[in-house]
Structure 1
Amino acid sequence: MRRVDELREQTVWKSDPHTQVKHLVYRHYLQCWMGKILQTFPEATIVDAFAGPGVYTDGPPGSPIVVAKTFLEHTAYRRFNKLNLVCLEERTDRVEELRRQFAKLSPSPQLNISVQAPGVFAEQQPRLSTLAHRGRAETPVLWLIDPFDLKSAPFSLIRRCLAGPRDEVLFTLFTNELHRFCQRENFDKTMTPYFGGTHWQSAVPERRGRREAFATAYQQGLKDQELFTGGFGIKVSNQSARYHLVLATHSEAGLKCWAPVTWKLDHYSGQGASAETAGALSLFDEASVVDRLDVALRAYAGTAQRWETLSSQAARLNHMDKHLRQVLDKLAAQGLAFRVDPVRARTAWPEGCTVRFYAPEDVADEAS
């Protein structure tokens, strides 16, 4: 049976390598998100909008169970406040199976699991938003949106999920389908609502890097809404990414959780992982790609910048503070960066420091 038929007809289906990498991203991001949010706010909510049956025929757990187990097995679990896990699935048979899977877990007074009656996400989103926020707009809500097709999650729906000031979305972007079908006649009628505009057209001329160009275009649409965003390609071996995971958040703190995840799973560029490379969980390679960060810091020539500004710039470029220190070491060796405050410190670039930047011509030798 073809996989598309398996997904359409069966209650439970077999997992694949892409799914395992995706769930690994979920787990790592949730580890950080839970550690920060659930020790700061009295309660928070995760909405799995396309929950599925909660298990695969070959044994691995589905995304709702991954979320629950990440919570229950977290090292900071005993310090956590309340987490509400809201799950929506369209098919009755899969809802019943999901409830059976949750029944196998140990109950926790800190984890409130709510499996909704079968429903379509686009129709149920307003009600789910009210349920997730618990009457308080400031309640943190993380939406996991992993649909089966493009039409189930148009940009307008994603934007509604980000209406609250502490809402975040982790969205599966079908870049392979976009790459394959973007030039078909009348496919623009699907593409434009999916992107929330016609800016997707800028990616079409790209041939070798079209998938990544679509991911970049989608993220630009989020940035135009004054949101912070990160992306990560999910692929197998040396093939092109089948789809991308896209994070959208109101807070730069979300990027601070996102960057370490991507560098753990892709320690060369932090941009995509395959089933082959995802097991290599070293934080990053010393030869990691930091060119964009290098260029960004050189643009500060003639100014003094606080560490917070530099760390923010690094996060926006999907880099960690360790990458920032790596580039600062390089610039300092060239005479282009100096720590001016504090005068004394145990490390070269401590948090809270101030760094002054210079241009190459400022340090060039001149004839006396």
Structure 2
Amino acid sequence: MRRVDELRERTVWKSDPHTQVKHLVYRHYLQCWMGKILQKFPEATIVDAFAGPGVYTDGPPGSPVVVAKTFLEHTAYRRFNKLNLICLEERPDRVEELRRQFAKLSPSPQLNISVQPPGVFAEQQPRLSALAHRGRAETPVLWLIDPFDLKSAPFSLIRQCLAGPRDEVLFTLFTNELHRFCQREGYDKTMTPYFGGTHWQSAVPERRGRREAFAAAYQQGLKDQGLFTGGFGIKVSSQSARYHLILATHSEAGLKCWAPVTWKLDHYSGQGASAETAGALSLFDESSVVDRLDVALRTYAGTAQRWETLSSQAARLNHMDKHLRQVLDNLAAQGLAFRVDPVQARTAWPEGCTVRFYAPEDVADEAS
């Protein structure tokens, strides 16, 4: 049976390696998100909008069970406040199976699991949002949106999920399907609502990098809404992305959790992992992939910048603080960056420090 038929006809289906990579991203991100959110806020919510049956025929857990287990097995679990996990699935048979899978877990007074009656996400989103926020707009809500097709999650629906000031979305973008079908006649009627505009058209002329261009276009649409965003490609064995995971968040703190996840799974570029390479050690020097950060820091020539500003710049470029320190080391070796405060420190670039930047012409012989 073809996989598309298996997904359509069976209650439970077999897992695939790319789903496991996606769930690795979920787990790593949730480890950070839970650690930060559930010790700061009295309660928070995760909504799995396309929950599925919660298990695969070959044994691995589905995404809603991955969320629950990540919570229950977290090293900071005893310090956590309340987490509400809301799950929606369209098919009744899968709803029943999901309830059976949750019944196998140890109950916890800190974890409130709510499996909703069968329903379509586009129709249920307003009601789920009200449940998730518990009457308080400030309640942090993380939406996991992993649909089976493009039409189930148009951009307008993603925007609705980001209405609250602490709402975040982790969305599966079908870049392989977009790459394959974008030039079919009439496909624009699907593409434009999926992207929330016609800016997807800029990716079509790209041939070899079209999947990545679609991901970049989608992220630009989120940025135009004033959101912070990150992307990560889940690749097939040929190293082309089958789909991308897109993070949308109102807070730069979300990017601080996102960058370590992507670099942990893709040690070379932090942009994507295949089923064959996720978690493997890189054979490459990371210096070649921090060029964008190097260029960005050089624009600060003639100014002094606080560490918080520099760290923010690094996060927006999907880099971690270790990459920032690496670039600062390189600039300092060229005389282009100096720590001016504090005068004494245990490390070269401690958090809270101030760095003054210079241009290459400032250190040229004739300027001395």
Q: TM-score range by the shorter chain?
A: over 0.9
3-state SS, counterpart of residue 361 of structure 1: helix
3-state SS, counterpart of residue 5 of structure 1: helix
3-state SS, counterpart of residue 177 of structure 1: helix
Contact 1:170-1:248 at 8 Å conserved across structures = yes
Q: Which moved more, 1:10-19 or 1:276-285?
A: 276-285
In the alignment, the residues of structure 2 paired with residue 151 and residue 350 of structure 1 have an alpha-carbon distance, to the nearest angstrom, of 47
Contact 1:17-1:236 at 8 Å conserved across structures = no
CA drift at 1:283: 13
CA drift at 1:193: 0.1
In the alignment, the residues of structure 2 paired with residue 285 and residue 166 of structure 1 have an alpha-carbon distance, to the nearest angstrom, of 36
In the alignment, the residues of structure 2 paired with residue 288 and residue 23 of structure 1 have an alpha-carbon distance, to the nearest angstrom, of 28
Q: Which runs of 5+ in 1 are unaligned?
A: none
3-state SS, counterpart of residue 365 of structure 2: coil
Contact 1:264-1:280 at 8 Å conserved across structures = no
CA drift at 1:257: 0.1
Q: Deviations over 1:52-95 (max 9, x none)?
A: 00000000000000000000000000000000000000000000
CA drift at 1:276: 1.1
Tell me the TM-score normalized by structure 1: 0.98
Contact 2:86-2:116 at 8 Å conserved across structures = yes
CA drift at 1:150: 0.1
Match of 2:67 in 1: 67
| Regions of 4+ moved over 2 Å | 236-239, 279-288
Change in Cα spacing, 1:198 to 1:367, as seen in structure 2 (3 Å) is closer
Change in Cα spacing, 1:15 to 1:262, as seen in structure 2 (3 Å) is same
In the alignment, the residues of structure 2 paired with residue 13 and residue 58 of structure 1 have an alpha-carbon distance, to the nearest angstrom, of 8
Match of 1:239 in 2: 239
Q: Deviations over 1:222-246 (max 9, x none)?
A: 0000000000000133420000000
Match of 1:156 in 2: 156
Q: Which moved more, 1:135-144 or 1:287-296?
A: 287-296
Q: Deviations over 1:10-29 (max 9, x none)?
A: 00000001100000000000
Contact 1:6-1:13 at 8 Å conserved across structures = yes
Q: Deviations over 1:113-172 (max 9, x none)?
A: 000000000000000000000000000000000000000000000000000000000000
Contact 2:293-2:317 at 8 Å conserved across structures = yes
Change in Cα spacing, 1:166 to 1:281, as seen in structure 2 (3 Å) is farther
CA drift at 1:47: 0.0
Change in Cα spacing, 1:139 to 1:285, as seen in structure 2 (3 Å) is farther
Change in Cα spacing, 1:284 to 1:342, as seen in structure 2 (3 Å) is farther
3-state SS, counterpart of residue 263 of structure 2: helix
3-state SS, counterpart of residue 26 of structure 2: helix
Change in Cα spacing, 1:209 to 1:33, as seen in structure 2 (3 Å) is same
Change in Cα spacing, 1:285 to 1:43, as seen in structure 2 (3 Å) is farther
Contact 1:263-1:283 at 8 Å conserved across structures = no
In the alignment, the residues of structure 2 paired with residue 236 and residue 268 of structure 1 have an alpha-carbon distance, to the nearest angstrom, of 17
3-state SS, counterpart of residue 286 of structure 2: coil
In the alignment, the residues of structure 1 paired with residue 234 and residue 279 of structure 2 have an alpha-carbon distance, to the nearest angstrom, of 13
Q: Which moved more, 1:151-160 or 1:228-237?
A: 228-237
CA drift at 1:366: 1.2
Match of 1:196 in 2: 196
Q: Deviations over 1:286-312 (max 9, x none)?
A: 445101000000011111100000000
Q: Deviations over 1:271-329 (max 9, x none)?
A: 00011111227899544510100000001111110000000000000000000000000
In the alignment, the residues of structure 2 paired with residue 241 and residue 282 of structure 1 have an alpha-carbon distance, to the nearest angstrom, of 19
Match of 1:215 in 2: 215
Aligned residues: 368
In the alignment, the residues of structure 1 paired with residue 22 and residue 323 of structure 2 have an alpha-carbon distance, to the nearest angstrom, of 24
Contact 1:44-1:83 at 8 Å conserved across structures = yes
Change in Cα spacing, 1:286 to 1:194, as seen in structure 2 (3 Å) is closer
In the alignment, the residues of structure 2 paired with residue 285 and residue 32 of structure 1 have an alpha-carbon distance, to the nearest angstrom, of 26
In the alignment, the residues of structure 2 paired with residue 313 and residue 4 of structure 1 have an alpha-carbon distance, to the nearest angstrom, of 42
Change in Cα spacing, 1:80 to 1:133, as seen in structure 2 (3 Å) is same
Percent identity, please.
Answer: 95
